[in-house]
Amino acid sequence: MAVTCGKNRKGDISLTIENIDSNDIEIIVESKYEDLFGKHIRELLRSLATEYELSGIRVTAIDMGAWDYTIRARFKACVDMLKSRCES
């Protein structure tokens, strides 16, 4: 199961969270600002996954210059979508 939140437009980030067959947290980041913020985005996504007690997921992020609060909001929206699909 996979969910996607966000848009591929300036100042936003598109996040896809999907289940994988391991207990790892895989983070994939594509960003035109990779050299400046790639490491920070990966660390933030990993900390959010830990905060929401998620494992066995792959997070794919296509960043277009999103601020941290946008990344957090998109991540929460994806988690909420995942939870609602699991409860259905």
Q: Domains of the chain by range and CATH? A: 2-87 (3.30.230.10)
pTM score: 0.94
Give mean pLDDT, residues 23-41: 95
pLDDT tops 70 at residue 66: yes
pLDDT band, very low/low/confident/very high, at 88 (cuts 50, 70, 90): low
pLDDT for the residue 26: 97
User: At CB < 8 A and 24+ separation, what contacts does 18-23 make?
Assistant: 18/57, 18/58, 18/60, 19/56, 19/57, 19/58, 20/56, 20/57, 20/58, 21/56, 22/56, 23/55, 23/56
H and E: helices and strands count for the chain: 2, 4
Q: Which of 37-41, 45-49, 67-71, 80-84 has the lowest mean pLDDT?
A: 80-84
Enumerate the H helices of 8-67 as residue ranges.
34-51
